[in-house]
Amino acid sequence: MVVTALTLLVSAIRDNLPRIERERQEFWQTVYEKIPDIFIDWLNELKVEKNYVDIWRKLIDMRWEEYQEKQSLTRGIWIEELIKNQDSEKFNDAAVRVETLTVSSMLHITRGKAQRDDPLRPYLRTWLAVLNNKLEERIGW
């Protein structure tokens, strides 16, 4: 769940970078790049054993790569559904972020055994949507 939240934060910043005022872009680009390192530094400050810190680093890197791969797949499926159903629901980066991380997290938690109607799904989606909204509100894009 921690890595999911970190991935949400990093992806929200990345998705919003092009829309941020030019004078603030450099700051947010730096924040975007440093988030995993800051988390790892915090683990080190807590005196977490190095082998566990190394595992966290690998996990963060793996989940970020996985997210980037799955985000394109989610976006493609979502667009197909919107076109097929002529749905007027607003398609945006936040929705793709939340849905990609919902499915990805659900699969990790259930060790790949989750089904489409898994009862965990609405809880994860709600948690991620609320967290995403709070991040965007607090950051103030």
Q: Using 50, 70 and 90 to split pLDDT, how confident is the model at 89?
A: very low
Instruction: For the chain, give every domain's residue range.
Output: 2-139
With a cut of 80, say whether residue 90 has pLDDT above it.
no
> 103, 70 in Cβ contact below 8 A?
yes
Whether the Cβ atoms of residue 12 and residue 96 lie closer than 8 Å to each other: no
Predicted pLDDT of residue 84: 61
Q: From CA 74, how far away is CA 132, in angstroms rounded? A: 17
Q: Which are the contacts of 114, defined by CB distance < 8 A and separation ≥ 6?
A: 103, 106, 107, 120, 121
Look at phi and psi of residue 112 and say left if phi exceeds 0, alpha if psi is from -120 to 50, else beta. Answer: left
Whether the per-residue pLDDT at 16 is higher than 50: the answer is: yes
Average pLDDT over residues 72-86: 67
Task: Write the pLDDT tens digit of every residue in 105-135.
Answer: 988 888 888 887 888 889 999 999 999 999 9
Is the pLDDT score of 88 beyond 50? no
For the chain, give the percent of residues with pLDDT over 90: 50
Q: With contact defined as beta carbons under 8 Å apart, do 125 and 98 qualify?
A: yes
Percent of the residues in the chain that have a pLDDT greater than 70, as a whole number: 89
Token duo for residue 18:
């092009």
Residues 38-77: tens digit of each pLDDT: 999 999 999 999 999 999 999 999 999 989 888 877 777 7
- Measured CA to CA, the distance from residue 102 to residue 96 in angstroms comes to 10
Contact call for residues 12 and 132 (beta carbons, < 8 A): yes
Chain position carrying tokens 């990790």: 108
